[in-house]
Amino acid sequence: MGLDIRWPIGIIFSIYGVILLVYGAMADFAIFNEKSLGVNIDLWWGLAMLVFGLLMTAFAFRASRRTRS
């Protein structure tokens, strides 16, 4: 039929999630303590985007296996 839209969405969100997660883990904690009440926004949103991307990729993989058999 064509490309399942969950593949590119999952891959893009996973890549962006990893980038944000690494940036949030490497950033200086004093910046977050001063600007965002001590919450490392980049770390948490990177984790959320990575989880969402992995879920979308897993759903696309599951759907592709279901249509082949």
pLDDT digits (tens, 9 = 90+) for 17-58: 999 999 999 988 888 777 788 888 999 999 999 999 999 999
- Between residues 68 and 20, the one the model is more confident about: 20
The rounded Cα 11 to chain-centroid distance in angstroms is 8
- Return d(Cα 11, Cα 20) in angstroms, integer: 14
**Residue 3 or residue 48, greater confidence:** 48
Helix 6-26 and helix 41-68, axial crossing angle in degrees, nearest 10: 150
C-alpha–C-alpha distance, residues 39 and 17, integer Å: 17
Cα distance between the two ends of the chain: 15
pTM over 0.95: no
